[in-house]
Amino acid sequence: MKQWTNEDFYVDGKFDEAKAKQAYFELMEYHGYPIFESYKGEQMWCPDFDLGDFAHVGMAGVFWMNHNHEGGGYLGHEILLLPGQMIVEHSHVAVEGVCPAKREGWLIRHGSAYNFSTEEEPTGFLEGVEIPESQKPYVTVNSCTLLNAGDTDQLNVPESSHFLMGGPEGAIITEFATYHTNDALHFTHPTLEFGVKES
């Protein structure tokens, strides 16, 4: 599996989303995952969370659907992670009059991922798993689980901090969740206000 560095994604210090997307296409080809024509447009988005460390902190996402209805909502979301790449630690809170705290679960379709969570009974981190240097000061979770292709897991404690990180061969993950809105998305990083695409 190819290993990427930040030099692959920044030109004169500016993030190049097209180069990021190409890296995910290479990841998909490696795993035999279809590259839909819509992915080449705006359906796939690749944030670096304005942190300048995309090789270690970033993701690609595809919202297949994201709907809020009276009495309940739902989200179908594809997540792609390069090897060792983590999503910024975050939590989902309730928004009065809009939605309850988001509930979510994940199916690892290809590769592997580490699920970092905040559990009432902590398990600690797995040996050899390293948090990217740029994020170590902002990580508060207390547990880590390895998920391989075909494995599922879920957010056990609503509104708790959590994140996913790609394994040695990256990860392609399907998320099953309730409705997402950026108003309910909180990052542990104190200055981060970047949201993700909502639909």
User: Does any domain span residue 94?
Assistant: yes
For 76, the token pair is 């179908």
User: Does any domain span residue 197?
Assistant: no
Around 40, how many Cα atoms within 13 Å sit in the side-chain half-sphere?
5
The domain in which residue 46 lies consists of 6-187
> How many structural domains comprise the chain?
1
**CATH code for position 51:** 2.60.120.10
Helix (H, G, I), strand (E, B), or coil: what is residue 80? Answer: strand
Q: What is the pLDDT of residues 154-187, one digit of tens each?
A: 999 999 999 999 999 999 999 999 999 999 999 9
User: Does any domain span residue 140?
Assistant: yes
pTM exceeds 0.85, yes or no: yes
Determine what percent of the chain is predicted with pLDDT higher than 70: 96
User: Does any domain span residue 193?
Assistant: no
User: Does any domain span residue 42?
Assistant: yes
Bridge partners of 78, per DSSP, are 62, 174
Q: According to the model, what pLDDT value does residue 190 have? A: 87
User: Does any domain span residue 127?
Assistant: yes
User: Does any domain span residue 1?
Assistant: no
